[in-house]
């Protein structure tokens, strides 16, 4: 995949926050999702207190539940773990992995937030600006916003609100199992983000693209430690 070079990653926390405010104005979450056949799931893995970040991307085809390709990258970061600034720690490895992807996914799904973020710049929005493809954040927990739990049946949703603004949807992917938190990242609207996540559900709480990426990147990390 072609990757746009947007900025340097060598920033202080203060500079990173200022950059988030600047980049948020470039994010577009008003684009309806078209084709949703090839979905790339992406995740990272690292050992606690380690600066070595492993990133994995799995490109998955919805029609036959098939993995098209898997790629990984390993980078070293010196950006600390700071809530709200996760992308400055993890995104460089993810971007490096995406440069190795040969197919062209219709949508990219990341384990994290899109605009459901205090500065509307979660990792899915940030990576989306680098990739310039539709990106979705599908997180296991809430970072920002308020919600009422959706109905307990799979496919139920409820809005994730920042004040009166809808910044995502809380989606029940499996009956009576904790929901996931879905928010548009870039070049996709909220309805399209939910559609992409539900298109990837195959009986687990997490959609297949990010579930498989999680398994893959942990496998790569264990190999690296062996």
CATH number of residue 45's parent domain: 3.30.2170.10
Q: What integer is the mean pLDDT of 90-103?
A: 98
Rounded Cα distance, 117 and 63, in Å = 32
Instruction: Dump strand ranges (E) for the chain.
Output: 38-45, 52-61, 66-76, 107-110, 135-139, 157-162, 165-171, 180-186
Q: Answer whether residue 202 is part of any domain.
A: yes
Task: Output the CA torsion sign for 207, 210, 212, 215.
Answer: negative
Query: What's the whole-model pTM score?
Result: 0.95
CA-based end-to-end distance of the chain: 30
Q: Answer whether residue 5 is part of any domain.
A: no
**What's the pLDDT at 225?**
67
Write out the residue range of the structural domain in which residue 85 sits: 13-207+218-225
Q: Answer whether residue 155 is part of any domain.
A: yes
Average pLDDT of the chain to the nearest whole number:
96
Q: Answer whether residue 7 is part of any domain.
A: no
> Token pair of 13, please?
């926390």
Instruction: Dump strand ranges (E) for 83-156.
Output: 107-110, 135-139
**What's the pLDDT at 47?**
87
Specify the number of domains making up the chain.
Answer: 1
Q: What integer is the mean pLDDT of 38-62?
A: 95
């Amino acid at each position: 995949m072609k990757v746009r070079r947007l900025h340097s990653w060598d920033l202080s926390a203060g500079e990173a926050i200022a950059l988030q405010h600047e980049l948020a104005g470039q994010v577009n979450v008003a684009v309806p999702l078209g084709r949703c056949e090839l979905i790339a799931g992406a995740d990272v893995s690292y050992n606690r207190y380690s600066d070595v970040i492993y990133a994995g991307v799995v490109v998955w085809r919805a029609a036959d539940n098939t993995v098209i390709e898997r790629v990984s990258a390993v980078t070293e970061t010196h950006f600390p773990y700071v809530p709200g600034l996760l992308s400055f720690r993890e995104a460089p490895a993810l971007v490096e992995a995406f440069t190795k992807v040969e197919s062209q996914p219709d949508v990219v799904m990341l384990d994290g937030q899109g605009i459901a973020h205090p500065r509307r710049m979660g990792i899915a929005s940030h990576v989306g600006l680098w990739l310039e493809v539709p990106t979705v954040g599908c997180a296991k927990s809430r970072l920002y916003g308020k919600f009422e739990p959706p109905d307990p049946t799979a496919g139920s949703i409820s809005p994730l609100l920042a004040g009166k603004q809808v910044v995502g949807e809380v989606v029940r992917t499996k009956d009576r199992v904790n929901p996931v938190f879905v928010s548009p990242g870039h070049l996709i609207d909220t309805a399209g983000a939910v559609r992409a996540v539900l298109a990837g559900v195959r009986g687990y709480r997490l959609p297949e693209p990010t579930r498989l990426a999680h398994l893959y990147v942990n496998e790569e990390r264990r190999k690296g430690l062996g």
